Amino acid sequence: MLVRRAVVVVCCLLALVVGLRGAAVGISTLVAGSATATDGAAAETVHVARPGDTLWEVAGRYAPQVDPRVAIDDLIALNGGAALQVGQRVLLPADWF
């Protein structure tokens, strides 16, 4: 009886995690469009981080013409660090566009 309850609890927790992850992906996809923020005369594009995003992927997606190491340094300088959180607004340099 105890084993059966444990299996049910684990299955429910897995279903909850999968459901929450799906909801997070759906919400971040809705917000992740091409939102822009203006900073004086220069506009910066914003990328909303999704699950699994890395600075390397963001740099490659938005600045394939830039050396990835330089692009990542630009992202770190502009956003104050290298860590990405799901839903985080990642500012992209205006000179990439």
pLDDT in tens, 5-14: 876 666 556 5
Domain span at 51: 2-96
pLDDT at 35: 42
Query: What is the torsion angle, in degrees rounded to the nearest 10, for the CA atoms of residue 82, residue 86, residue 91 and residue 92?
Result: 80
The number of domains in the chain is 1
- Provide the residue type at 1 as one letter: M
30: confidence class by pLDDT, cuts 50, 70, 90: very low
Mean of the per-residue pLDDT values for the chain?
77
Task: Give the single-character DSSP code of 86.
Answer: T
Q: How confident is the model at residue 1 (pLDDT cuts 50, 70, 90)?
A: confident
User: Which positions ≥6 away from 93 have C-beta within 8 Å?
Assistant: 44, 63, 74, 75, 78
